[in-house]
Amino acid sequence: MPVHSTTLTHQSHSRTGLNGQLRTYRQVVPPALHLSDSAAASVFRAVRLRGPVGRDVIANVTSLSIATVNRQVIALLDAGLLRERADLAVSGAIGRPRVPVEVNHEPFVTLGIHIGARTTSIVATDLFGRTLDTVETPTPLNAAGPALNSLAHSASRYLRRWHRRRALWVGVSIGGTVDSANGLVDHPRLGWRQAPVGPVLADALGLPVSVAAHVDAMAGAELLLGMRRFAPGTSTSLYVYARETVGYALVIGGRVHCPASGPGTIAPLPVQSELLGGSGQLESSVSDEAVLAAARRLRVLPGVAPANRTGTSTTAMTDLLKVARAGNQQARALLSERARLLGEAVALLRDLLNPDELVVGGQAFTEYPEGMAGVEAAFTARSVLAPRDIRVTAFGNRVQETGAGIISLDALYADPLGAMRRSGALGARLPDTEAEAIAK
């Protein structure tokens, strides 16, 4: 499915909903970021990953009884999340339980928002987690209040494009320290403290909002969406991210580990690289801006001013990659040095945490795949444990968008019927299928 990308500009904003009326309620819901084992979630996941599929197959892959599967399928059909495919029914079969079902994705959309240090991406996502469309807008550099009002206005305008679909949820991924229960964010690079990201967006859009740390969101995408490509057969995974910032997340037993006080930091890990500035710390040595600063010092990219917006930084990085691929040895040396530092950092984390699986993501890894050999070589040389493969994220250069998208879908994947109720997409009462399943 093609993904379109455009750019929005900011306008002033007051806290009004899409219908122009002041919103007086706030729905901020912390993301779960785990593989839910509830009956409804298990059935919906089986259909999402295998559909169109019959109830007997669903029962087999979920280990639920046929009776429980039938109740969940009926409830999900009533909620509009599934639809029957009578045209695919087995010839001669009698009765609706023989009619395959699939995800009814066309009527719905969720909105993901990745707030980066320089650029914010707004993403429309379908129920499969597929990106339908993306727009980018500069992250406002003013105080949190005006900045959030401006971003909320951009999101409101963008959501109006999807008037033919029912919007269900908003998911936000952002750096810094996130209080997911209240949707508050401390973001030193933006100068935000206790910024009401969730409440402002919930008021403006009139939808439930979930907010997560961006590296946790990307790890959640690997867990909940990456399984379409890689079967989840491991119990612990370490996810390492690098672009303009660096970070890591742990997945333990099918759940992203989200400490109440926010994710840990690897930004100040000690490193040694005079070529990349000699700061002695990981993030300030391997970030895009650090690499570009080194390129300016070496006159690999003469005339390129320091970036104050991601658009400028992205263009300069693209130019640097082109120069390296054209054979410039200084450009290659800079990118190889970054690969070495990243590989050694991953090795340190691996030796400390010893996960079953290693995943890396972010443009520092994915925009220059030629550098992965250097990452792996440095990892192997530094790690003191047995050899371990490093897997690059399944989502390539769109990992930020996918991470925001999964936060917008997380509640639906964890509790499909509850999420539909909370979003207002159906009445407050549906048959209590979970209670019935337990009673059986």
Tens-digit pLDDT profile for residues 95-145 = 556 899 999 999 999 999 999 988 999 999 999 999 999 999 999 999 999
Q: How much of the chain exceeds pLDDT 90, in percent?
A: 77
Indicate whether 438 pLDDT > 90: no
Backbone angles phi, psi at 102, to 5 degrees: -145, 170
Burial 104-129 (b: 16+ CB within 10 A, else e): bbeebbbbbbbbbbbbbbbbbbbbeb
Residue of 72, 98, 78 lying closest to 437 (CA atoms):
72
Confidence band, pLDDT 50/70/90 cuts, at residue 17: very low
* Rounded Cα gap, residues 335 and 373, in angstroms: 12
Mean pLDDT, range 184-202, rounded to an integer: 95
Per the confidence metrics, is the pTM higher than 0.85? Answer: yes
Cβ atoms within 10 A of the Cβ of 365, count?
Answer: 27
Give the pLDDT score at 90. 74
Domains of the chain in sequence order? 4-17+108-222+399-423 (3.30.420.40), 39-105+432-439 (1.10.10.10), 248-393 (3.30.420.40)
Tens-digit pLDDT profile for residues 258-309 = 887 777 899 999 999 999 998 999 999 999 999 999 999 999 987 655 555 4
Give the pLDDT score at 25. 44
Whether 128 and 147 have beta carbons less than 8 Å apart is answered as no
Q: Is the peptide bond before 52 cis (omega within 30 degrees of 0)?
A: yes
Tens-digit pLDDT profile for residues 165-176 = 999 999 999 999
Tens-digit pLDDT profile for residues 25-53 = 469 999 999 999 999 999 999 999 998 99
Give the pLDDT score at 230. 40
Residue of 389, 121, 358 lying closest to 222 (CA atoms):
358
Burial 47-78 (b: 16+ CB within 10 A, else e): bbeebbbbbebbbeebebeeebbbbbbbbbeb
Q: How far is CA 6 from the centre of its chain?
A: 20
* Rounded Cα gap, residues 176 and 188, in angstroms: 7
